[in-house]
Every structure is written in structure tokens, then in C-alpha cells.
Structure 1
Amino acid sequence: MATLKILFIGDVVGGPGRKVVSQLLPRLIPRWGIGLVVCNAENAAGGSGLTLRCHEELVDAGVDVMTMGDHVYRKDEIHQIFDRTDRVLRPANLPPDAPGPELALVQARDGTSAAVFSVLGRTFMKPVDCPFRAADRVLGLIGSSVPVVLVDVHAEATSDKQLLGRYLDGRVSAVLGTHTHVATADERILSGGTAFQCDVGMTGPHDGILGRRYDRVLTATLTSVPTHFDVAVHEPRLNGALVSVDPSSGRAVSIHRVSIGPEDALRVLNDSPDQPADPSAQE
């Protein structure tokens, strides 16, 4: 059975995150046979928000759709991005008057029709509309003609994400979590055929605290004096999930964590025979 492989890249943080995507993604797409690339880009510009230049870098690398989260409006240029493309998405459970598209309907590289949208969680986050009812509403807009649907749940609490995964099980292809920047080891296929992972992790510098310089975060924590949390620099890593989907039914066949650190990245860039294999190659 020919499956559609979807690479979902976790929160891209700052210049180091964009660089590792730009370096690795053009090589991974043909080698792994990736048909659709989605990434969370709400931290791509200096660690918060998205600018035109950052958007162009990610598009040039091969990203097809970008989801955003609670930092969606952090950079004013997001409004220009919304004017230019319908493939950068604001969360669907923001108020109806919030600017930006909430749903992307796209064709994968093999011609498969796919839909992507995101919702925000409500625990330990700013007040937003109900993510469950928002998901129901967007699925009503998609209808049954597009079986492949990916949902980014941008939330703090793992229980919020697990509940949404169970709620949408059998109705979407994948529910994948972002926001905490820490990958979880709970990837699985739910009983209804939906791929799930609480958080796919962060793409960017891992020598800091969630992508920020740990000395700045530690100083602010110890002194209670606010300071700017600069983006860290070292140990860039591409984290995400590779989901294989039956394009006819929309049911997920497999889900694999993706984590490419500096050593593996060098193997990819140097065409080493020991470079990371397609995680789904053993299916």
C-alpha cells in the first residue's frame, strides 16, 4: 500500500531552528519520500512570532504549511504574510474576528488532498474559545472529501492534548502536540486510526532552556528581575514526527519520532552511508 508520508516539524526556534530546517529538509524530502511538510513556526523569528523573511526561508526549504500558536501576532509582519498566503494558519479557536486563515487545504507532492489546522489549549494559557467545538466546526468545513487531516494542538497540559486526541480519534489522521518544546515518548496510533503524540519537540538550539540562553533564564529566575531571553546558539536539532497515512481512508499507518542532532545532521549533509534512515523504512 502506497502511503502518504507527512513530516511534522516541532516548534522552529529562531535562526538556529530555521538554519537546521533549511539545511536538512531539502535532503530529507526526496530521501524519505515525504509528501507533505508541516511545521509550527510561531517562534521562528527571534524566538517569538514570524516575519516575511523567516517565512520565505522555511518555504524555500520545503515547508508546505505553517501552523502558529499563542505568539501568532507577536510580529506585525504576520498580517502581510496572511495577505500573501493561506498556508500560514492562526489557531482555529481564536475569536472569529481574529485575522488570518484557520484552515489550509493543500495537495501533497503525490496529489493527495490534505487539510491542516491548529487549536490552542486552555490550561495555563490565555483564555480562548473551546478547542473541541472549534475542531468540530473546522471538520464540518472540510467535509468528507478530504480524508487526510492533520491537527496541531498547541497546548501546555498533556491532558488537554490527550483529550483532544481521543475526541478526534477516527475523524482525523493525526493529532500532534506543540508548545512545550520537549518531545514526549508517547507516540502511538489510537484505536480509531489517528496518530498521536503529546509534543513533537523543538527544532532549534538545545543547549538552553526551551531554545533560550539558560544563563538569561536562570538569572531572571534567581533575581526576579525581568531580562530579555536571547535565543540560544548551540546543539541545533530537528525534532518532529513522521506519520504515514493511507490516503484513501485517512487512517494513520504509523508514527515515528524524528530527532536529528548535530552528528546525524553532518551525516545527512555529507551524504554519509550512516546518515539517519527513514524511520518508517521497516514498515
Structure 2
Amino acid sequence: MRILFIGDVVGNRGVQMIQTYLPKLKRDLKPQATIVNGENSTPVGRGISQKIYKQLLESGADVVTMGNHTWDNRELFDFIDSATRLVRPANFPGKDVPGQGWTKLRVNQATLAVINLQGRVFLPPLDDPFAVADQLVTEIRKETPVIFVDFHAEATSEKRAIALYLKGRVSAVIGTHTHVQTSDGQIIDRQTAFMSDAGMTGPSAGVLGMQPAGVLSRFLNQRPSRYEVETSEPGIMSGCVIDINDQTGHATKIQPVLIDGAHPYDI
């Protein structure tokens, strides 16, 4: 099985990049499943709307994952329980959390499970992602060994640690949230694909998708500042493609996907 994963979609520019390039990537890379992180995809860069969720699916996403901005657009509460291809972090605390922390889809003769988890280092103290992963993976492996984890976290150490913890039990642990693609893609012990961060998809001219003015003001003055999504050209699209053995669930290859000014996509 080949999985194409696209990192955090930011604002209108990110959605435009998905609409322009995802169909072409799918044509050329021929993935059997495509996963897109959409937690920053609204025009203000926080949360997701039903319209954008549908646009991502129409552009070729099979599953949309989320992260720490899951609840920032309150419209989500109106449709998350019926959005069968939308996955929010499984370790949100409390009972009766809206939505789902994982989903599965049939891929030819195999089943792919997609789990979303959020880290706790430098982020809100959610339930223990290691313990939640343990419970979910144990149950899911009764049905399929092909398990993809989007670990939405700040610290590279936490991302690496959970990848080692789940080594051999999941097919891939790919980090999101920091919006900068890392160069550490690897197959750990010939079993589990890992990359600290898949990167972002959106405007590349700002600071991690935001307009520079507000970010610079915060750094220079250490006072609250309004962050606004960058809307200008150019754009960037980041992610990775992973090959997995359907029988064992072990990853066999991982390679980055990067489209920007320095890495144009030959159409």
C-alpha cells in the first residue's frame, strides 16, 4: 500500500495548493490512500469548516486529520459527528468527546487505520498520548496491522519517543504542527516509517503561514499580538509518501514531498 500524507493546510492559500497539486501528485505517485492534515485550513488559519472539509475530500483526500486547533471554528460541532473521514486527536480528555480519534478505510484487499494524537510538551495537557495509543493500537491490530499515526506535537523529542514506543506496532508515525518539513525521514528497524514533521501547505512568504508583522511584534515587544494568515504568493506544499507491506504492516520506504519556489512541480 502506498500512502500520500500532506502536512498542515494553512488558510486559503493552502486549500488552493491542495486543489491545484493534490490531483497531480495522486496521478504521478499513485497512492492507494491520501491523508491531509486540515487543522489550520480556515481563512483565519484555525480549525476547519464543513465547506473546506468537503473541498479537501473533493480534491483527493481520503482522510482529514486535525490537531490543537480542532475546536477553534465552532462550526465544527455542527458536522463533526457525521464527518466519517475527519479524525481529531484521540486523547482529548473527558467523556463524550465529539467526533472520532481514528478511522479506517478499505484499500483494495487491505484495511488502513488512521489515528490522530496530540502531544503534551509545550501544548495543553491532554490525556497521555502514549497510553491512548497503546489502547487503540492493541484493539486495531486485531483487525489490521496497517496503522498510520498523525502525531500533532511541538517537541521533536516527544515525536521521536512515541515513534520508538510504537515501533513495529504501527506502520508510520508522522509529525505535524511545527509547519517545517524535517529531513529525518526513515524506517525505524525496517518496521515503522518516521518523520518529525511533514511540513505545511500554504503561503510560504510569511512566518509558518502567518503575516510577519504580528509575529515580529510579539518577538520584539513580548506583548500580545494578532496573528493573521499570509495571503500572498508564493505557496508551499509539504508531505511525504510511504510504502507499506499490507501483510506485515511494516513500512518499506518513505520519501518527502515538497513543492515550492525552489522545488517546482513539473506538470
Q: Find the counterpart in structure 2 of residue 240 from structure 1.
A: 239
Q: Equivalents in 2 of 1:159, 1:217: separation in Å? A: 25
Q: Equivalents in 2 of 1:257, 1:25: separation in Å? A: 14
Residue 58 in 1 paired to residue 56 in 2? yes
1:190-246 Cα offsets, whole Å, 9 max, x none, are: 015000001111111111111001122112332344332111122211100100111
Match of 1:203 among 182, 201, 204: 201
State the number of aligned residues: 264
Matches within 5 A, 1:108-119: 108=107, 110-119=108-117
Instruction: Mark the runs of 5 or more structure 1 residues left unpaired by the alignment.
Output: 269-283
Residue 88 in 1 paired to residue 86 in 2? yes
8 Å CA contact 2:117, 2:129 repeated in 1? yes
Q: Equivalents in 2 of 1:159, 1:84: separation in Å? A: 35
Q: Equivalents in 2 of 1:170, 1:81: separation in Å? A: 35
Match of 1:231 among 226, 229, 232: 229
Amino acid at match of 2:173: V
Matches within 5 A, 1:1-283: 4-45=1-42, 46-97=44-95, 98-108=97-107, 110-191=108-189, 193-232=191-230, 233-262=232-261, 267-268=266-267
Q: Equivalents in 2 of 1:237, 1:260: separation in Å? A: 6
Amino acid at match of 1:261: D
8 Å CA contact 1:81, 1:88 repeated in 2? no
Shift of 1:99: 1.4
Q: Equivalents in 2 of 1:47, 1:141: separation in Å? A: 34
8 Å CA contact 2:4, 2:33 repeated in 1? yes
Q: Equivalents in 2 of 1:206, 1:30: separation in Å? A: 24
Q: Find the counterpart in structure 2 of residue 279 from structure 1.
A: none
Q: Equivalents in 2 of 1:173, 1:266: separation in Å? A: 28
Q: Equivalents in 2 of 1:107, 1:228: separation in Å? A: 43
Q: Equivalents in 2 of 1:25, 1:47: separation in Å? A: 20
What is the TM-score normalised by the length of structure 1?
A: 0.89
Shift of 1:36: 0.5
8 Å CA contact 2:81, 2:98 repeated in 1? no
1:22-56 Cα offsets, whole Å, 9 max, x none, are: 11111221221111111111101121100011111
What is the TM-score normalised by the length of structure 2?
A: 0.94
Amino acid at match of 1:243: I
Mark the CA change 1:201 to 1:79 in structure 2 (over 3 Å): closer, same or farther. Answer: same
Mark the CA change 1:265 to 1:107 in structure 2 (over 3 Å): closer, same or farther. Answer: farther
Shift of 1:65: 0.7
Shift of 1:152: 0.8
Identity %: 38
Q: Equivalents in 2 of 1:28, 1:184: separation in Å? A: 20
Which 4+ runs in 1 deviate beyond 4 A? 262-266
Amino acid at match of 1:90: R
Q: Equivalents in 2 of 1:191, 1:265: separation in Å? A: 33
Q: Equivalents in 1 of 2:173, 2:222: separation in Å? A: 37
Q: Equivalents in 1 of 2:81, 2:211: separation in Å? A: 34
Mark the CA change 1:146 to 1:24 in structure 2 (over 3 Å): closer, same or farther. Answer: same
1:38-89 Cα offsets, whole Å, 9 max, x none, are: 1111101121100011111101101111111111100112122313222211
